[in-house]
Every structure is written in C-alpha cells, then in structure tokens.
C-alpha cells in the first residue's frame, strides 16, 4: 500500500506558483520575510471581517507601502489554512511589489475564524461579504481580484455566481472541487469519481476539515488577537499513515481513528444523486458569471484536471472572458518546473512557464486597466508532457482526430507477463478475466492528489494477476495526444455491483511504465448518477468511461498502455460488491469480472490525436 507523508501532502496544497513550506509550520512564521517584502509592506493579523449573520472571520492583511491616502487594488484569498501557507508563493510576493494589497480571509470555522466548518456550505454568502468588507476599507480602491489554489480556488466558483460589485477578476487554480454537476462532469466537488468516493477527501478531513476548531476569546483587543495568533497555532496535528483507511464499514473510517467530527461523516452516506448535494455552493448546470476567470491547473493534478478542463469548456459557452492554462506538474505545484522537469519519478521535459508574469498581467488588465487594451494572452495555453514546448489554442479541447485502439489477447492479459495488446482493429481473442478482492486490493501507486510522487513506475502493480495489461507496439513516430481519452468496455460481473479502474500509462524503452492519468467507475452508475441499477450476474454490459484528460507526446520507441482492475486503494473506496449501501457494509465478497474484446463486443480506447 502506498504511504504518503501527510505533512508534505498538506504543504503541497499551499504551493502557489512558486515556493512553499515543505511541511506545516511548527513555529510562528515571519510573513514579511516569508514573502520577501520586508521594508516594502506591513502585515496585520487577526483582522475581524464581520459577516451578515454576525460571525467574525479573521483575516491577515498585507499592504504595500504607499503615499498617504493612496488606495489599493486588492487580491482576496479565502482559505481554511494557516495564512503562511497561502502567502509563501513567489506570485503573491510579486503582487505585493506591484502595488496590490493581499487579504487572506480564513473560512468560517477554520484557523481562528468563528463558526463551524462545513465544506462549501455558505461559501457564496461568506465570499460575497468578504468582497464587500474589502471594498469598504479605507485602503481599498474598490477593485478586488480573487486568487488561490485548491481549497482557496474552489470557493471562487460560488463567488463568481454572485457577481458581487467590486469583484473584477479571478485566478482559480486546481479548483474543480467547487463544481457539482455540469455537462460531462457529475462528481459533486470530486467527492466522487465515477460514483466512487475518493479517500483523498477522507485524508483531508482527517487532517483539516474538522467541524470544530479552537477559537479566540470574544472581547479581546486587536493587539491581543495579534499576540495570541503569533504565539499559538490553530493547525491540527494528526498522525501520519494510511492504515486507518482499511477500516470497514467505510462510513466509520474516520470515527474509528478518533478523528474529530467532520463533514465527511455525512458525505460518505450520500449518493452522487442525493438531493442534499443542493445544500452545497457548487457551480452547477445553468450557472454562469460575468467575472473574468483564469483557470489554472496541471495534468498531474489527476484529482482536479479533468474537472478544470470541463468547467472551462462549460463556462466558455455561457460566460465572457474565460481563459485556461494547463501545465505538467502535480497539484498546486505550478511554477516549480525546470529545464529538466520531473514529476515524481517521471521526466516530462522542459515545462517552464511564466505563471507569475501571466497572473500579474491578468490582474493588471482587469484591476488597473479596467479591462481596456490588449490582454495579450492566448485563450488556451497547455504543456503536452515530454514535448519541451507550450501550445496555444483558441479553445479546449483542441481539434483532433479520434484514433481507436482495440483491446486484444488470447484470454491471457493478466499481468505484465500476459499477452494483452492494443491494436488498430477489433480484437478476436478470448475474453479476459480478473478477480477483485476488497481485502487484497490493487494498491494506489501514484496519481490522486497532493503526493509529490504522483507519477511512478507501475511495473510492480502490473505484475499482479488481478490487473489486466494492454500495450501497443513501440511507436515509430511521435504520437501526439491532447484532449479527452475515452474507454468503451464490454464486460460482465459475478456480483450486483463492482468497480472498474482504468489507468493510462506511457511505457519507456527501458520498460519503466509511468502513469499519466487514471479514473474509476462504479458499475451501478454506468448509465449516469440518476440511473442507478444493479448488474445482472453474467450479463454483458457496454460501459463507457470518459473521465480521462491528457496532453502528452509518446516518443518513438515508447508504447502506450492501459491497465484495468477492480480497485485502486486507498485513493478510492473499496466496493464491497453486495449492492445496497456500500458505506454500511463490512463483509466483502470477491467480484469476478469478464472483459470481452471480440468482433461483436470490441472494447477499445479512443485517443484525441493532434498534429
């Protein structure tokens, strides 16, 4: 089983186009030194922001030195994290030096802010009130830009729907957890993927998303608030490791560890189509915005990047001034690229990009120039993995030619030593079979969120007998892929429900096999979240998986591979295979799945090939 350093995982969330602490700070951080603005700005912590219901959020305010009476454009960051996590990036420092005030408002019920924390509930009201507070301050010129990555990005969609006066532009980075249901995406804040709960969320709630937090005493002075915040930490300190994820039933997976109460305890009991999802301030079908948005993400943010691409595509149809930047790195690590960029174990080429300059130009255009003049920014910019160059386009996805690669074998595609192939015509061989035992799941090895080793050699996973492996012949010329990769599989199972996990892999000439993207589908939701239906044992079903997005070059001598299995744990909850409420069950059975690839049931993947 994969082990992650939780401290490192959480620190990754703070990476904002530059540097960030390698782990959660254990001692008070001097923000002026962290931001490299000593002598150029002042910092005030514990500044109260009073909401419409009287709850006080506490903010950290960074104001650049300026002539008396000069008013400033402001960058608003709404975050559940220690402000030092949000202020440590090079982009924020550059914004301060460019004359922007920075306000980090801690979300309701997080850090020292009052109230209880409920993920994405009330986010629109609280965000709107925060903008109103900023624009009413004597140092504000009334123009606000929203900025942030991951948790501080997701809340921007709720705010964008409100179009509050003064909000001029947004930079939403790795923010797809703020999306509910839109065309091509139905994962409810990515709590689900294909109807399967993500245990990356369980890990986050175990460490950060607690309902209750320590609070500052009421009635103390501003000076005393700042002194208390500088002396004490409001950060949680949970134990590391993933052994807790093995607990059954999954509804009690956090309670069994003694974790404080969190929204996860409720979410794990909700189906993807539960009407209670309407209580969450997600961007949903029918929503739009008048606020210009720069969507930023990276291909190896495999939790978020599909949703980021889909929300950009959706808003581009009904909202003005939508832009997209997709890099090659892991979750919220944009700006760490080098001439020889590595993501986890995989080299991806020279992926360098001037994120700082692009973001500064974006805010200058909308907050200083009032949107006048030439923005001089392509609508879409993305980095194909291993290409050594960035590509600009007018839309996403780019124009492409679909290429189908069909699965084939002699019924022996189990494991790396098997005979599974990807070929350009429908397969003719006997079907393949694999067992999925929830008590011996295929371990997660790369992928997901917040792991520096997001891309890893999959060879050890591919030696397992419960993983089907299908591989092309070596390419004699570069295969260029950009867009959505779809899989169509014909299969049957022995149980009323099962999961199918698919992984896209680039195989190097030396045999190392690096994951590019993965997805999973709970088969009861094979026809959509509103058409839940059990599987009939032995009946063959056509199942389509459409939640893979990628831009990658497969060089000569490389091969393309897909892996198919029934688990990917602990990234995703295990299916107990009994049907019914999976989160309540603790007595698993093994599912036996048959995958067909003959002339009449031709299973294939479809690649978007670009010139």
What does the pLDDT read at residue 28?
59
Q: What is the mean pLDDT of the chain?
A: 93
Count CA within 13 A, CB hemisphere, residue 68: 0
- Look at the domain 401-609 and name its fold: Jelly Rolls (2.60.120)
C-beta separation of 261 from 80 below 8 A: no
Find all residues with CB under 8 Å of 154, minimum gap 6, and list them.
Answer: 120, 172, 175, 176, 177, 178, 189
Percent of the chain with pLDDT over 90: 87
| Phi, psi angle pair for 187, to nearest 5° | -100, 10
Whole-angstrom Cα distance, residue 289 to residue 319? 6
Nearest of 445, 503, 454, 458 to residue 342 by alpha carbon: 454
C-beta separation of 517 from 611 below 8 A: no
CA distances from 119 to 105, 155, 210, 269, 576 (A): 15, 9, 10, 15, 27
Q: With bands split at pLDDT 50, 70 and 90, how would you rate the model's confidence at 3?
A: very low
- Averaged pLDDT for residues 1-15: 31
Q: With bands split at pLDDT 50, 70 and 90, how would you rate the model's confidence at 6?
A: very low
Ramachandran class of 530: left when φ > 0, alpha when ψ lies in -120 to 50, beta otherwise: alpha
Before 249, cis peptide (omega within 30)? yes
Select 6-325's CATH number: 3.40.50.1820, 3.30.360.10, 3.30.390.50, 3.40.50.300: 3.40.50.1820
What does the pLDDT read at residue 11?
34
With residue 104 as reference, give the H or E element that holds it.
Answer: strand 101-106
Find tokens 């999976």 and name the residue.
582
Is residue 389 exposed (0-12), middle (13-18) or buried (19+ Cβ within 10 Å)? exposed
Percent of the chain with pLDDT over 70: 95
Any alpha helices (H) in 70-221, and if so which ranges? 83-87, 90-97, 123-135, 151-162, 199-207
What does the pLDDT read at residue 215?
87
- Averaged pLDDT for residues 149-175: 97
Whole-angstrom Cα distance, residue 262 to residue 118? 8
**Local structure of 525: helix, strand or coil:** helix
C-beta separation of 540 from 492 below 8 A: yes
* E-state strands within 174-262: 192-193, 196-197
pLDDT digits over 182-225, tens only?
999 999 999 999 999 999 989 899 888 899 988 888 889 999 98
CA distances from 557 to 22, 123, 319, 477, 511 (A): 37, 49, 43, 8, 10
pLDDT digits over 215-270, tens only?
888 889 999 988 888 888 887 777 778 889 999 999 999 999 889 999 999 999 99
pLDDT digits over 40-95, tens only?
999 999 999 999 999 999 999 999 999 988 999 999 999 999 999 999 989 999 99
- Give the chain's end-to-end CA distance (angstroms, integer): 39
What does the pLDDT read at residue 283?
98
Of residues 549 and 23, more confidently modeled:
549
Residue 38, beta-bridge partner list = 41
**pLDDT beyond 80 at 18:** no
The pTM of the full predicted model, rounded to 2 decimals, is 0.93
What does the pLDDT read at residue 492?
98
For the chain, the structural domain boundaries read: 6-325, 401-609
Which tokens is 185 given? 């995406």
Nearest of 312, 329, 201, 221 to residue 265 by alpha carbon: 201
What does the pLDDT read at residue 332?
95
Nearest of 376, 360, 379 to residue 368 by alpha carbon: 360
**pLDDT beyond 70 at 347:** yes
pLDDT digits over 129-139, tens only?
999 999 999 99
C-beta separation of 324 from 295 below 8 A: yes
Pairing type for strands 341-343 and 140-149 reads unpaired
What does the pLDDT read at residue 4?
32
């Amino acid at each position: 089983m994969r082990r992650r350093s939780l401290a490192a995982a959480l620190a990754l969330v703070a990476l904002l186009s530059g540097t960030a602490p390698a782990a959660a700070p254990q001692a008070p951080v001097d923000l002026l030194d962290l931001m490299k603005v000593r002598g150029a700005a002042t910092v005030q912590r514990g500044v109260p922001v009073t909401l419409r219901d009287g709850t006080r959020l506490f903010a950290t305010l960074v104001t650049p030195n300026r002539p008396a009476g000069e008013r400033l454009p402001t960058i608003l960051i709404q975050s559940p994290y220690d402000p030092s996590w949000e202020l440590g990036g090079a982009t924020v420092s550059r914004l301060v030096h460019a004359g922007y005030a920075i306000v980090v408002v801690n979300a309701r019920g997080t850090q020292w802010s009052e109230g209880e924390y409920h993920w994405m509930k009330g986010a629109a009201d609280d965000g709107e009130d925060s903008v109103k507070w900023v624009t009413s301050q004597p140092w504000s010129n009334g123009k606000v830009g929203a900025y942030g990555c991951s948790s501080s990005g997701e809340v921007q969609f709720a705010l964008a729907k409100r179009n509050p006066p003064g909000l001029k532009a947004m930079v939403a980075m790795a923010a797809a957890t703020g999306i509910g249901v839109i065309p091509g995406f139905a994962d409810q804040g990515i709590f689900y993927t294909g109807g399967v709960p993500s245990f990356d969320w369980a890990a986050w709630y175990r460490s950060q998303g607690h309902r209750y937090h320590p609070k500052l005493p009421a009635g103390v002075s501003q000076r005393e608030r700042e002194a208390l915040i500088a002396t004490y930490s409001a950060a949680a300190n949970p134990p590391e490791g993933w052994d807790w994820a093995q607990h059954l039933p999954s509804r009690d997976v956090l309670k069994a560890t003694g974790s404080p109460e969190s929204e996860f305890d409720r979410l794990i009991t909700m189906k993807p189509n539960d009407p209670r999802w309407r209580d969450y301030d997600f961007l949903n079908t029918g929503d739009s915005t008048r606020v210009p948005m720069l969507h930023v993400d990276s291909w190896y943010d495999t939790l978020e990047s599909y949703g980021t691409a889909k929300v950009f595509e959706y808003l581009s149809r009904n909202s003005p001034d939508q832009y997209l930047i997709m890099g090659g790195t892991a979750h919220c690590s944009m700006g760490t690229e080098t001439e020889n960029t590595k993501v986890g174990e995989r080299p991806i080429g020279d992926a360098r990009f001037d994120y700082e300059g692009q973001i500064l130009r974006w805010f200058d255009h909308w907050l200083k120039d009032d949107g006048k003049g030439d923005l001089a920014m392509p609508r879409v910019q993305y980095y194909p993995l291993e290409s050594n160059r960035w590509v600009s386009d007018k839309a996403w996805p780019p124009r492409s030619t679909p290429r189908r690669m069909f699965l084939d074998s002699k019924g022996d595609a189990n494991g790396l030593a098997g005979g599974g192939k990807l070929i350009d015509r429908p397969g003719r061989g006997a079907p393949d079979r694999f067992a999925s035992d929830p008590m011996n799941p295929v371990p997660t090895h790369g992928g997901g969120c917040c792991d520096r080793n997001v891309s890893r050699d999959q060879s050890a996973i591919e030696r397992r007998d419960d993983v089907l492996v299908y591989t092309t012949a070596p390419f004699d010329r570069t295969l260029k892929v950009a867009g959505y990769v779809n899989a169509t599989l014909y299969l049957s199972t022995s149980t009323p429900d099962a999961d199918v996990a698919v992984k896209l892999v680039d195989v190097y000439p030396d045999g190392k096999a690096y994951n590019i993207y993965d997805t999973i589908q709970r088969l009861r939701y094979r026809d959509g979240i509103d058409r839940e239906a059990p599987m009939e044992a032995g009946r063959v079903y056509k199942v389509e998986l459409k939640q893979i997005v990628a831009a990658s070059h497969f060089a000569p001598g490389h091969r393309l591979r897909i892996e198919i299995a029934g688990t990917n744990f602990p990234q995703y909850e295990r299916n107990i295979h009994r049907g019914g409420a999976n989160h309540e069950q603790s007595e698993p059975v093994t599912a036996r799945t048959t995958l067909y690839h003959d002339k009449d049931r031709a299973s294939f993947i479809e690649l978007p090939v670009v010139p």
